[in-house]
């Protein structure tokens, strides 16, 4: 059986409240994804790690996993740290095809949402 997965990857923080929007995004994605498995992972300070979340997806039978960095830009964590972590996952789970997407902040959709949100906040029309 072919099963796909999406591994959302965020930075992490010491304050648990920081994760709230990422957890909400993961929950919304799970509602939309149907049979596609979804996991949220963090680089540091929070769990699960990307290796732990990747293990969950592999153990659920995913043979293709798209890793989506929930970063506003592709700085050092996305360009340097994440590829090394993906190499670890590839070595541990060679039966899984691990694909890395661009950072969400580099998509036109999020750039427009940021502009819309900034306008809404600045003009006092934020809901």
CA pair distance 51, 41, nearest whole angstrom: 8
Tokens 């409240």 identify what position?
17
Active-site annotation, residues: 11
């Amino acid at each position: 059986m072919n099963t796909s997965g999406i591994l959302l990857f965020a930075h992490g923080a010491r304050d648990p409240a920081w994760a709230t929007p990422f957890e909400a995004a993961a929950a919304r994605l799970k509602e939309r994804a149907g049979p596609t498995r979804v996991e949220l992972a963090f680089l540091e300070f929070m769990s699960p790690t990307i290796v732990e979340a990747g293990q969950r997806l592999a153990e659920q039978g995913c043979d293709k996993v798209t890793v989506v960095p929930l970063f506003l830009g592709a700085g050092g964590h996305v360009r340097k740290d994440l590829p090394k972590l993906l190499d670890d996952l590839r070595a541990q789970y060679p039966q899984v095809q691990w694909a890395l997407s661009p950072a969400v902040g580099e998509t036109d959709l999020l750039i427009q949402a940021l502009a819309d949100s900034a306008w809404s906040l600045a003009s006092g029309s934020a809901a």
